[in-house]
Amino acid sequence: MSATPLKKKPAVSVVIPCYNAVHSMRKTLEAVTGQAVDFPFEILVVDSSDDGTAELIRHGFPDVRLIHLPHRTLPGSGRNLGVCEAAGDIVVFTDSDCVPQSGWLQGHYDAHQKHDCEAVGGSVINGYPGHYVAWTSHLLEFNEWTPRSKPGYIWNNPSCNLSLKREAFFRHGIEFTDNWPNEDTLFNWELQRRGGRIFFDPDLRVVHLNRMALSKLFKHQFRLGKAVAVERRITDLPGRIFLKIPVLCLGLPLLRWAAALLRLLKRDRRTMLILLVVTPLWLCGACAWAFGFMTKGREQDAAIRIHGTGMPGEGAAGEPE
């Protein structure tokens, strides 16, 4: 079945935060609406675009629940609002630059029935396998979650391929922050700190449409490093020593490269060979990440929250359409 007006309560809500994704959103929604499943589901897009994405959704996908906000909203706040509006017992997240593969939605649902966990994660595939910069971007961010990785319990999974039992947000008192673009790591850390577990299934696959412009690659890696440093200041995640002794950050690119190489050597040797090919640009991107890590960013609470202030209806968000 596909996402059509439902007579029954949906078992699953797919939540997609979105900002200026007019060039990729059609592929994303076609992939999600085309999922073959044996349960009713709904799709919610929390959009704050000004590039025509909302119009594309209204006219091309009328059965999708569009929540259009008047000002740019970061993904963490968008997911929080999606959770508040969701009717399904399971909330599945993906992003507007991702294309879920066949069996993805049914697989998330089934994994929640089979495994003792609050969250389920899946693998991420490079959407431009013939592009040098795209491979570099992909391996800088997603080398831990390949389709050849082993299934099992993990501590972290990207929010572009992540699902949770909706009640877990309220039972554990968890929500996403706006510590973008690494808010999912902070969320997963908080989930497990409060007793939640994440199960990883590599067969649950999304294709990620990675950055192909050098300027965007370096800008994003700088921003990502800055967000990671903020998280290390406020959690017990590994790496706090680099904040205390900044000169050690100069060695972070090589340290991260070695860790990625060893990881892929154990899990995915074909992708390890690609890492070796893109190593020069990978190290340049990792340097941008390290410079970002050395800056003094600040923690950002979500503008739209599930718990406390910023709840929908309190002036934090636009009205659902």
Question: Cα dihedral sign for 110, 180, 138, 233?
Answer: negative
Range 187-202 average pLDDT: 97
C-alpha to C-alpha distance for 114 and 111, rounded to whole angstroms: 5
Spatial CA neighbour of 31 closest among 85, 95, 90, 120: 95
- pLDDT score, position 8: 83
| Locus of tokens 């199960």 | 199
For the stretch 278-290, pLDDT in tens is: 999 999 999 999 9
| pLDDT at position 41 over 70 | yes
Q: Does residue 105 carry a pLDDT above 50? A: yes
Quote the pLDDT of residue 310: 54
pLDDT higher for 15 or 5? 15
Other beta carbons within 10 angstroms of residue 185's beta carbon come to: 20
Is residue 314 scored above 70 in pLDDT? no
Helix (H) or strand (E) holding 248: none
Where is pLDDT greater, at 96 or 311?
96
**Following CA atoms 178, 128, 221, 148 in sequence, which dihedral angle do they give, to the nearest 10 degrees?**
80
Task: Report the distance separating Cα 152 and Cα 197, nearest Å.
Answer: 11
Mean pLDDT over the full length of the chain: 94
Nearest-angstrom CA–CA distance, 182 and 228: 7
Which tokens go with 248? 């050690």
**170 Cβ contact partners less than 8 Å away, ≥ 6 residues apart:** 306
- pLDDT, residue 293, reads 97
Domain residue ranges of the chain, discontinuous segments joined by +: 12-211
Q: Is the peptide bond before 151 cis (omega within 30 degrees of 0)?
A: no
CA 162 – CA 93 distance, rounded (Å): 5
* Interior angle at CA 274, CA 273 and CA 275, nearest 5: 90
Give this prediction's pTM.
Answer: 0.93
The yes-or-no verdict on residue 50 having pLDDT over 60 is: yes
Using 50, 70 and 90 to split pLDDT, how confident is the model at 316?
Answer: very low
Domain 12-211 class?
alpha beta
Q: Is the pLDDT score of 317 beyond 90?
A: no
Confidence of residue 7 (pLDDT cuts 50, 70, 90): low
Work out the percent of the chain whose per-residue pLDDT is above 90. Answer: 92
Instruction: Give mean pLDDT, residues 93-117.
Output: 98
Mean predicted confidence (pLDDT) in 184-199 = 97
User: What percent of the chain lies above the pLDDT cut of 70?
Assistant: 94
